[in-house]
Structure formats: structure tokens, C-alpha cells
Amino acid sequence: MADLLIELFSEEIPARMQARAGEDLKKRMTDGLVEAGLTYAGAHALTTPRRLTLAVEGLLDHSPTVREERKGPKVGAPEKAIEGFLRGAGLCRDQLEERDTAKGAVYFAIIEKPGRPAAEIIAEVLEDTIRNFPWPKSMRWGAGSLRWVRPLHSILCMLTREDGSEVVPLNIDGIKSGDATWGHRFMAPARISVTSFEDYAAKLKRAFVVLDPKEREAAIWQDATNQAFASGLEVVDDKGLLAEVAGLVEWPVVLMGSIDAEFLDLPPEVLQTSMKEHQKFFSVKNPKTGRIEKFITVANRETADNGATILAGNQKVLSARLADAKFFWENDLRIAKSEVGMEGWLESLGNVTFHNKLGTQAARIDRIAALAREIAPVVGADADLAEQAAKVAKADLSSEMVYEFPELQGLMGRYYAQAAGLPQEVANACQLHYSPLGPSDEVPTEPVSVAVALADKIDTLTGFWAIDEKPTGSKDPYALRRAALGVIRLVLENDVRFVLSSVIGNAVLSHDLALRFSNANSKQVPLKDVQVGKLDRTTAAELYIQALGTSDTEAAADEVVSKANDLLSFFHDRLKVFLRDQGIRHDVIDACIAMEGNDDLTLLVKRARALEAFMSSEDGENLLQGFKRANNILSQAEEKDGVEYSYGADKKFIEDAAEAALFDALAAGEGAISSAIEAEDFAAAMGGMAALRAPVDAFFEAVQVNSDNQVVRRNRLNLLSQIRKVCGQVADLSRIEG
């Protein structure tokens, strides 16, 4: 057994590429070694800005000898067939064996591939890995053909055993492998020879290189928080920035500097974003005031003046950056507080295209405002405030601050709305209407914010559905899956009750009509006329007649209704994913989606959760079996007889006590379950279902449905149809597996 050490030493690798590159090196090397017959005990990759390192433990010294037997053509087969078999096997004619088989004498080839030394295999796999490495971007330099993310300077590749170590010989475009590396670029640039991974890691540490990125992260965070704590401050947590900064340095030296007093009144988010994006600085805030007062920078070396010169340079550059941010902030505030206010920014959005088929941002804002007003009463919001909030929510897109820092959109809108003297609900909606952006993001709860957030996401979804730009496979360039999940979470977490199909149907219709308005032959239809009730084909056709000036609108009406229904199915698919993550089975969700009212997502989820709980119980499992048995017998009888048994049983034809008990239980259960469903008390409805378990079980144990007496048989089949009808009030149990 041996241990393998590989280091690929180059100019600085971009921080964002390092972690993926380390994993790619590990995967490609270990996959290649195993494929060649070299198994190993363990492997791990480490990265710094200038090196990719792979350590493989417990590697075989040789690949095993492989013996393969291949069946060839029959003895006496055409010569060309035999020659082709010999070429494929790499053998001569006299190396073949003749064997008798059930189909006659056949040639067999015994191919023995001797094992190879580990070093030989490693050299081949490493060269292939280096030449075909999957960098997102790579470059060529010098006269060679090799491409790498930055110029590759050296290759360390060696095998270590108990009796010593050896260099694995390799030469790629003049870069020869060896047993050497280099320490820190400035603090210890001398050549270092190593004998093993342990020797390599220890000598690098002495040469001011921390090899493990996680160790660098921990050191940065500990030193940064200690320095902040000593000043009564705290570092703003940012794991993404921490990982990036750890990828910029090999020997992290944490320095804390001050922000000039003239910038301390800038919004903390502006300071934090400016320092992070431009300088890769951590923000340090005063926990009592919430103000950002200092910054943390991480140098890549120790200096005689303990970083004073580095800090001075960084503070000078930071002041210039923050001066720009202050200018943007003050200029934007001046506009927001003017007579024109935020509405002035909206005019410029008329020149900003949202999508070439969906018009400008200004047109989109008008649609969202109309939709927010329609949704407002459903979520308990004031319609005027919801419309006002929707009209200004995206105004900050024209501000200088958001132009410089797009990630601050929404947040700056809140600041500017407050400065403009708009109601606080409107200001909050400016920030919150983008939420939730992900599965862990907080969901707005203020009614005005909920109305605008729903309108924003529904407009996006219906617009792209109207122009047939839907997600396909893994591609979702407009984040429509995320928008649908946002609608679902807004509805469920705020217990919103509304008919989703009506809202999306009207919105798809509005988009489709707007597209047709661009046609010279179409007529303008006021959008107020498009706000119809639940979308149906007849209403859509009437509006298309107005828009197109022709009665030939059936195809257009059918198409828009189809798109709306398809979008509702898309919502159901996203809801299934959302609920599966909460432990609700897909078949249970399907059984509830099959019911009327499936476009009321809150009601649908209440039904699904109650059904999941019931189906997880013993009563639920047994009743399901009884239902499926009844449904199967009934379906077969209806197919055979060519009639539908759905008229209910007549008690005067009942012959068995178990039959009578089931009849009574179904009569009582139908009313109880129906009342519970009407009251949306699904727990009570499931209780009514549970009461049917015993009489259904007893019926099938005591009664033969297919009686010789045809009157009794028909009556019993009608009784089975009553089971299907009563249980079908809760969900379509035929869709549940089991």
C-alpha cells in the first residue's frame, strides 16, 4: 500500500472556482484510478489561491492481473470473421482454444492483462485529468497547448511507502513532476522538498501557508470576532463572504479599520453592500445602535508595522467608494422628497424593457397595480394602499443607488418611500414584495405587502405562460418555479382563501389580449372589461370578438383557457414538491387535487394534511383496502353489465345483518361527512370515514356480492356504489396507493 500526494501549483485561482476545482480533481483522479484497478482507502482535496492538492491514502501498489474469456466465432467460420475476432482480442491464431458447445465447436480467447505499477497508472490518469480539467474559464500561455485557469508552474506527484517515497515521473508541456513546492509568495518564497503529505502540510504551515480552506475560514472568523468584541462591536455574519475571502489568502491576517464619520449615517445595508462588493470587507456594527462603524479586512501577509500601511491604503480606497455611495443616496433622497417624488422614476421605466413580448417595466407595473387592487380584499388589505404600493414598489429600479447596487432593489424603495412621506404599509411593501425569494426566506404578513407580492409573482407567471415561455426540464431562466413556490407560501402561510384559477385565468387573458393589441388589425379593449369572473370559454370568446373584430375567436378562446389550466397544473406540481418536503405522500396529494375546489390552495392543503393523518392510521389503511375492493368489484360489474350502479341500495332487498349494518352506517356517514366537508372540518370528515371501517370489513367477510339472485346482486352493487360515493366526498381514494 502507498499514499499518493498531488499538488498543482499555479498563479492565483479565482476564489469562486477553488472548492469546485478541488472536488473535480478528487473525482477525476479517484475515478480514473479505480477504473484502472487501483483501489484506495480514502481521499481528500485541499485548496489555496495558488494550489490544488489531493491526498490519497491506502492506494494499491499494482493493479491486479485480469483474466478475461471471450467467446468467438464457430470453428470453420469465414476467415474474415476469425481475423476480426483475433484483432479485437489482440491474439494470434494459435492462442485460441477450441471447445465443444451445444452449437458445435467454437473458438475461445483467453486474454490475460497483467497488473501495472501504480506510478504508471497515476501518470496516465493525472495527465488526462490536467489536460481535460473542467475549468469554467481557462487560458493558454507560452508556446504549449496546455490550458489552465492561470499559468501552471509545477506539478508535485509522489508515492509514499513505509520504506520511502518516489516521484511519479510526468512531463506535460515541459512541466516535469517533482517532490517540491513553494511557500508563501512574499513571506517564504523558497523551494520546499517534501517526502509525504504530513511533511508537506507541516512545511507549508512553517512557510506561512494554511492549506485547509476551512481552517483559514475559522481563523479569520475567530480573529475578526475577537477584535470586534474588544471594541464592544460585532461582525455582521456573512458566510459567503467568509468563504470567498478565505480563498483570497494563504496566510490570513485580520485587520480592523474605521469608517470616516461622514459616512456613518448612510443606511447600514448600503455600507455593507458597498464594502462587500467592492472591497471584500466585513462590516462591523454597534449592537446598541445597529450602525456600521468599522470594517474588517483580511491581508495575505504579516508586516513590520502590523498592517498599518495596508489599513491606510484600504481606508483611502473605501472612502472614495463610500463618497460615491453617499452621492447616490443624497441625490436619490432629493428626488424622493421632491414634488414629483418616486413617480418621477416611473416615467423612465417606460423605456426599460421587461421582456420583448411582455412590454416595458412601466406596463408591467400597471398590470401589477390592477392585480394588487383585485387581490387586496381577499388578503384583508386596503385596495387603494395596495394599488399605490404596487405602483411605486419598483420605482427604485431607476434610482442611482440601485443602478450601482442591484441587490439593494426593494430595500432602497422602502427608504425612499419613507422619505417621500408615503404610508408605512406602502414603504414596507416596496421592500417585501419580492419575498419570499427561496424556501427559507421569510414570508410577508402585512396585508398590503402580501397583495403586492402575490400580484408581482402572478403577473410574472401568467405573462410567461401567455407567451409560451415555460420551464423545461432543468432550465428555468425566468425563475418561474421559484415564483410559483412564492405564491404557494404566501397563500398558505397567510391562510389566504381565493379562487386561484379565476385570478390566473383573468391575468393570462389580459396578457393574451395585450399581445393581440400590438396587431394592427386588433381593437383596443379596456382592461377593466377583462376583469371577468372565473374564466370560461364563452367569456373569453366575447372579449376576443371585441379585440379582433371578428366572430372567429373559438380557437383563441380555447387556447387561453388551456394556458390557464396548464398554469394551474404547474401550481399543483410545485405544491406537491412543497408538501412532499413536509412528509405528505404524493398519492395523497393527487387524491385531493382530483377534488372540486383544488384551486383554493389553502383548502386543498387542509384536506391533504387531514387525509395524510387518516391514511397513516390503522382505520385509514383498512378502510382503503375495503374501498379498493368495493371499487374493483363495482368497476368490473359495470363494465360487464354495461350499466352504472349509482342509484343507492334499497333496504327491502337486504338479506344479511352485516349488509343492513353497512346500509345504516353509510346513511349516517354520508350526512356526517358531508356536513363536515361543508364546514371544512376535515378532521371530523376523517372521523366519519373511520366509523365506516368496521361495517365495511364485516360486510366483505359475511356477504357475497355476486349473488345468484340478480335483484339482490344489483342491490349489493348499488350498496358498493354508496361506499364509493360517501368516501369520494373526502378525496379520490382510487388515486392512493396500497
Helices (H), 581-709: 586-593, 601-615, 618-641, 657-678, 682-690, 693-702
Instruction: Tell me whether residue 693 is exposed, middle or buried, using C-beta atoms within 10 angstroms of its C-beta: 0 to 12, 13 to 18, 19 or more.
Output: buried
Q: How many CB atoms lie within 10 A of CB 245?
A: 25
What value does the mean pLDDT of the chain take? 90
Which 8-state DSSP code applies to residue 704? -
Query: Do residues 26 and 45 touch, judged by C-beta distance below 8 A?
Result: yes
pLDDT for 109: 83
Give the span between the Cα atoms of 651 and 672, in whole angstroms.
20
Longest dimension (CA), the chain: 106
pLDDT for 75: 84
pLDDT for 422: 96
Which 8-state DSSP code applies to residue 472? B
The vertex-479 CA angle with 473 and 483, nearest 5°, equals 115
**What residues contact residue 13 under an 8 Å CB cut-off, 6+ apart?**
21, 47, 49, 50, 52, 149, 150, 247
pLDDT for 672: 92
**Among 258, 299, 306, 267, CA closest to 280:** 299
H or E element, residue 192? strand 191-193
Give the span between the Cα atoms of 217 and 347, in whole angstroms.
47
**Among 167, 160, 200, CA closest to 48:** 200
Buried b (16+ CB within 10 A) or exposed e, 327-341: ebbeebbebbeeeeb
E strands present in 259-291 = 282-285
Give the span between the Cα atoms of 248 and 298, in whole angstroms.
9
CA 433 from centroid of its chain's CA atoms = 20
Q: How many CB atoms lie within 10 A of CB 106?
A: 18
pLDDT for 534: 43
**Among 8, 20, 5, CA closest to 50:** 8
Instruction: Give the DSSP letter string of 120-185.
Output: HHHHHHHHHHHHT---SS-B--TTS---BSS-EEEEEEEEEETTEEEE---EETTEEEESEEE--T
Backbone angles phi, psi at 591, to 5 degrees: -65, -35
Q: Residue 37: left (phi > 0), alpha (psi -120 to 50), or beta?
A: left
**Among 312, 186, 308, CA closest to 249:** 186
Query: Do residues 508 and 564 touch, judged by C-beta distance below 8 A?
Result: yes
pLDDT for 524: 42
Q: In the chain, which residues have pLDDT < 70?
A: 516-554
